[in-house]
Amino acid sequence: MMRKNILIIAANPTTSTTTGWPVGFWASEVSHPYKVFTEAGYGVTIASPKGGKLEMDAMSDPFDSSQYSAWDETSKEVLKDAVFTGALEQSVALSNIDPGNFDAVVVAGGQAPMFNFEGDGGLHQFFSSFFQSGKPTAALCHGTAILRYAKDAAGEPLVKGKRVTGFTNGEEDDADKAAGTKVMPWRIEDELNALGADFVKADNWQSFVTSDGNLITGQQNMSGEAVAKEVIRQLEK
């Protein structure tokens, strides 16, 4: 059998319009799926809408001086892998990706998707078309921001009537309290519900994944491994 290939899409770095912080992807939302997929024998390509160097949200870096993610032994391990770090240094631009070469896609989160996914029509179309192809199509944590913009073949919100999860209002409350300021410009739970989604969730910061057909969503950064395992389950059933 030919090896299956997975595309992980991470957001390009940008600046938060609410806090002024530099923002990017969340380490565990790329590293944890990467480890699950590669250990299962899958090929993994890391892409981004614009290509080029990717940056972690500082507090997601397990080696950051804040020690916020020092518990994340998986990211510590994967960040020592030269192939992985090389892929972060030079991610592939989405415009150079042939979706036919991939069996599944995972859109990772972090803070940046909340600021730079909105105006990226190419990303919206790529995600929608990949989903419509019937292949496993996943989004994780704030990567589920893509669902605010993706449309189905009829031009309706792709998420309408679908069971999904994502970063919750309760988790946003926790994040705002910890930061001492409003962190995000809008909230995923509110916006997806407004689009007609059936938004479901577990307790704050618990790993949780749900699927509706080939649309797979993970609640937050603790859910990367579970999302990857659900992708594999769908590919191998």
Q: List the one residue out of 222, 219, 157 whose CA is nearest residue 194.
A: 157
Predicted confidence (pLDDT) at residue 1 exceeds the cutoff of 70: no
Exposed/middle/buried for 76, CB within 10 Å: 0-12, 13-18, 19+? Answer: middle
CATH top-level class of 5-236: alpha beta
66-114 pLDDT, tens per residue? Answer: 999 999 999 999 999 999 999 999 999 999 999 999 999 999 999 999 9
Q: Over pLDDT 70: what percentage of the chain? A: 100
Please give the Cα distance from 34 to 199 (Å, whole number): 26
Q: Are strands 215-218 and 209-212 parallel, antiparallel or unpaired?
A: antiparallel
Average pLDDT, stretch 48-69?
96
pLDDT-derived band at 3, boundaries 50, 70, 90 = confident
Backbone CA torsion sign across 53, 56, 61, 64: positive
**Total-model pTM:** 0.97
State the Cα torsion 121-193-133-228 to the nearest 10°. 100
Query: Is 217 in contact with 209 (CB distance < 8 Å)?
Result: yes
Residue ranges of E strands in 49-206: 92-93, 104-107, 137-140, 163-164, 198-199
113-149 pLDDT, tens per residue? Answer: 999 999 999 999 999 999 999 999 999 999 999 999 9
If you average pLDDT over every residue of the chain, what do you get?
97
Residue 201: how many other CB atoms lie within 10 Å? 19
Query: Is 27 in contact with 223 (CB distance < 8 Å)?
Result: no
Q: List phi, psi (to 5°) of 23.
A: -135, 160
